Chains A and B, each alone.
Chain A
Amino acid sequence: MAMQGIGKVRAHQTQNEGLVFEKSSPGKKAYKLPPLDVPAVDASSLLGEAHRETLAALPELSEIEIIRHFTRLSTWNYAIDLGMYPLGSCTMKYNPRVNEFVARIDGLADAHPYRPESLAQGILEVIDLLQRCLMEITGMDAITLQPAAGAHGEFTGILLVRAWHESQGNARKKVLIPDSAHGTNPATAAICGYAVENLKSNADGGIDLEALERQVDEETAALMLTNPSTIGVFESQIHRIADILHAKGALLYMDGANMNALVGKARPGDFGVDVMHLNLHKTFSTPHGGGGPGSGPVACKAFL
């Protein structure tokens, strides 16, 4: 295999590793309970039918075997802390350690949602300041941080679009989506009860203005646009796109997956976007790992 000395990351992948069940041996323990210092009770009378007579079929190992098993498995993973992770669309940027330091400060790490508001002013200030930062960065007037992922944000955003159209007397029937869009866009529109209409890209990979003008009508609820597009190109006609939609009472939704190309340079609120979502785990360096938790804030204009 001619590698010409290129490449860096070498995980310990050559070491075999059986399943934890295969390593199991009867009677091995990783713990020892302390002597009983409270009155003994009869478990079966307390638990009734839930009380089991036989042991659960769990593997039996010593502590060091468990530690080594999972440590070895962890070395098979690839991570941004090991090397470059050029997974397009996902913005796999480094998660700075200062983020983790701040998140572990006692007063913030111990915050609990049932804490009375009078005792949660610190964390509420963090939330409020983040909201104001994100509104400044996007140029939008209002924001919710509740959605837990980008797709969740899209869903929230299009429900918002639907609710607004309903308040105007007509929920409308269709959502336009470019053929370059993330697959979650059409899924979102469909789940929100809209027909999805495909919008063909032009020769530059952007929105075809003539096609857009033909396809936008009084039954169009919104266009879901990713800007920059998924081929990494900024929609230079974005003002015109917004005008075409607004002339028919349709809204411009922006998928903020590619916001990492815009922060500090251009604001969606300034180029005609009515509602959008962000991905804190992409643009704002929170972890992608282990399935999240992600965060997909939705920002919108005042009229929404």
Chain B
Amino acid sequence: MRGFYGNVGMFIRALAYILANGPDGLRQTTEDAVLNANYIRRKLEDLYELPYKTASMHEVVFSDKRQAARGVKTGDIAKRLIDYGFHPYTVSFPLIVHGAMMIEPTESESLEELDLFIDAMRAIAREVEESPELVKSAPHSTRVSRLDEVAAARKPVLRWRG
């Protein structure tokens, strides 16, 4: 158990958020979070496979099934999103969806930002059809492209040896 009262600085921030929004505001954030996820779902479901058709709440999970037929996986699409200036969605989770692409926009995003994201995802779907290698070798706009993620986690180099 955490000492004393816990991370008190976070309690102040959370309370400020709750009081600043009030009951109606909090309800509105919930509605907007659900609306934003469903907007993305509706705008992308013609290009990306939707493994579960049940109504979405605050996040939507696609699979890379159609893109995988062209040799492009969820991780490749996520890396390509970096080139379009977005942080990737959650890759390969939950495990019950093969090639999962888990997208949670939250209520914070404006319609304009959501549309930019949707445009990027639609552009990537086109690239998968026209030039899959471009997506498979992404990102192209970063200092380093694809790291050996397993080695980085298992054998990190933490000390400078001149």
Interface pair A89/B13, CB less than 8 Å apart: no
Shortest C-beta distance, A144 to chain B (Å), equals 8
What mask results when residues 92 to 112 of chain B are scored 1 for a CB within 8 Å of chain A, else 0? Answer: 011111000011111111000
Given A10-B85, A102-B12, A179-B96, CB of A84 within 8 Å of CB of B117: yes
What mask results when residues 118 to 143 of chain B are scored 1 for a CB within 8 Å of chain A, else 0? Answer: 01100100010001001000001111
A8 neighbours in B (Cβ, 8 Å): 85-86, 116
Residues 23-67 of A at the B interface (beta carbon under 8 Å): none
Given A1-B83, A21-B162, A206-B54, CB of A264 within 8 Å of CB of B23: yes
- Complexed CA–CA distance, A295 and B143 (Å): 34
A7 neighbours in B (Cβ, 8 Å): 83-86, 116, 120
Interface pair B52/A204, CB less than 8 Å apart: yes
Interface pair B116/A6, CB less than 8 Å apart: yes
- Give B contacts to A, CB under 8 Å: 1-20, 23-24, 26-31, 33-34, 37, 40, 51-52, 54-61, 83-90, 93-97, 102-109, 113-114, 116-117, 119-120, 123, 127, 131, 134, 140-143, 160, 162
Interface pair A258/B58, CB less than 8 Å apart: yes
List 10 other contacts, CB 8 Å, given A86-B87, A127-B11.
A6-B84, A7-B120, A8-B85, A99-B13, A231-B94, A233-B56, A258-B57, A280-B10, A284-B17, A292-B7
Given A91-B104, A92-B106, CB of A231 within 8 Å of CB of B96: yes
Given A13-B143, A281-B10, CB of A232 within 8 Å of CB of B60: yes
- Complexed CA–CA distance, A103 and B59 (Å): 30
From A129-137, A166-174, A214-222, the one touching the partner chain is: A129-137
B86 neighbours in A (Cβ, 8 Å): 7-9, 83-84, 86
Shortest C-beta distance, A173 to chain B (Å), equals 24
What mask results when residues 1 to 18 of chain A are scored 1 for a CB within 8 Å of chain B, else 0? Answer: 111101111100110100
**Residue from B96, B104, B142 having most chain A Cβ neighbours under 10 A:** B104
Interface pair A264/B59, CB less than 8 Å apart: no
B107 partner, pick from A93, A137, A148, beta carbons under 8 A: A93
B127 neighbours in A (Cβ, 8 Å): 2
How many A-B pairs with Cβ below 8 Å? 256
What mask results when residues 87 to 131 of chain A are scored 1 for a CB within 8 Å of chain B, else 0? Answer: 111111111101111110000100101000000000100110110
B31 neighbours in A (Cβ, 8 Å): 265
- Complexed CA–CA distance, A232 and B84 (Å): 25
- Complexed CA–CA distance, A126 and B120 (Å): 43
Which range contains the number of A residues in contact with the other chain? 35 or more
Given A7-B84, A88-B89, CB of A260 within 8 Å of CB of B58: yes
Using CB atoms, name the residue of chain A closest to B138: A1
Using CB atoms, name the residue of chain B closest to A229: B94
Using CB atoms, name the residue of chain A closest to B7: A293
Using CB atoms, name the residue of chain A closest to B31: A265
- Complexed CA–CA distance, A84 and B81 (Å): 11
B104 neighbours in A (Cβ, 8 Å): 86-92, 232
Interface pair B89/A87, CB less than 8 Å apart: yes
Using CB atoms, name the residue of chain A closest to B59: A232
Interface pair A262/B30, CB less than 8 Å apart: yes
- Complexed CA–CA distance, A146 and B56 (Å): 32
A96 neighbours in B (Cβ, 8 Å): 16-17, 20
Interface pair B30/A130, CB less than 8 Å apart: no
Interface pair A286/B14, CB less than 8 Å apart: yes
**Residue from B2, B23, B88, B117 having most chain A Cβ neighbours under 10 A:** B2
B142 neighbours in A (Cβ, 8 Å): 13
Interface pair B106/A93, CB less than 8 Å apart: yes
A99 partner, pick from B16, B59, B84, B94, beta carbons under 8 A: B16
